Amino acid sequence: MGDGEGGFTLLEVLVVVVLLGVMLTLSVFALKIFWQRRALDGSTKQVTAQLRQLQQRAVAESHPLIYGARFSQGSSTYTLLRYNPSDPSPPLCREMETVTLEAGVKVAEGTTFGSSPYINLSECGSYGATDHFVFFFARGTATGGTLYLTNEQLEDTSQDTTRISVTNLTGRVGGGY
């Protein structure tokens, strides 16, 4: 090759390869956070929709049927419940389905719901201090409270937790913030 012919030196090629490696590493990290946040958002939408369905079902099927859900702090699943206080054969509270949250998502600290004089939680199987119940009644009310979901891989970031609230007077379910 003569002086007039263009080409790349080994040093220039190495610099480009290193820069591409750094850019690829940063993009993989950003993509990982994107998918983790998407899992958290997807689980929040799933739970919100499920709670709204329970609320609608309680109103549609009328008294005395009560529908609800049990959330266990630190768990990646939750259980849908049907409570029938007029059922002559115990248990009055029956599990309808156990739902799994998306990968890495779990029920977070701070989750709490009110209690109801119409519900005997001992009828809902064994439960612990970290179990929280929300119930929807035929008259449109609910045991209000707040559910927090977190993605364990996003902990200590500004986007690690979402909140779903249930209003006790109206049974309204709001979520995703």
| Domain map (residue ranges) of the chain | 17-175
CA gap 51, 161 in Å, rounded: 18
**Nearest one of 115, 120, 142 to 55, comparing CA atoms:** 142
- Give the pLDDT confidence score for residue 2 in this predicted structure: 56
Query: What CATH architecture does domain 17-175 belong to?
Result: 3-Layer(bab) Sandwich (3.55)
- Give the pLDDT confidence score for residue 25 in this predicted structure: 84
Cβ-Cβ contacts under 8 Å for 160 (sequence gap 6 or more): 40, 150, 151, 154
Q: What percent of the chain has pLDDT over 70?
A: 94
- Give the pLDDT confidence score for residue 4 in this predicted structure: 62
| Model confidence at 1: pLDDT above 60 | no
The pLDDT mean for the chain works out to 89
- Give the pLDDT confidence score for residue 173 in this predicted structure: 95
Q: Work out the average pLDDT over 63-86.
A: 94
Q: Work out the average pLDDT over 89-108.
A: 92
| Secondary structure, 3-state, 56-106 | HHHHHHCCCCEEEEEEECCCCEEEEEEECCCCCCCCCEEEEEEEECCCCEE
105-164: pLDDT as tens digits: 999 999 999 999 889 898 888 888 899 999 999 999 999 999 999 998 776 666 688 999
| C-beta atoms surrounding 63 within 10 Å | 12
Q: Work out the average pLDDT over 39-51.
A: 94
Confidence of residue 91 (pLDDT cuts 50, 70, 90): confident
pTM over 0.85: no
| Model confidence at 176: pLDDT above 90 | no
- Give the pLDDT confidence score for residue 35 in this predicted structure: 84
| Model confidence at 167: pLDDT above 70 | yes
CA gap 89, 30 in Å, rounded: 54
Contact (CB, 8 A) for 125 and 110: no
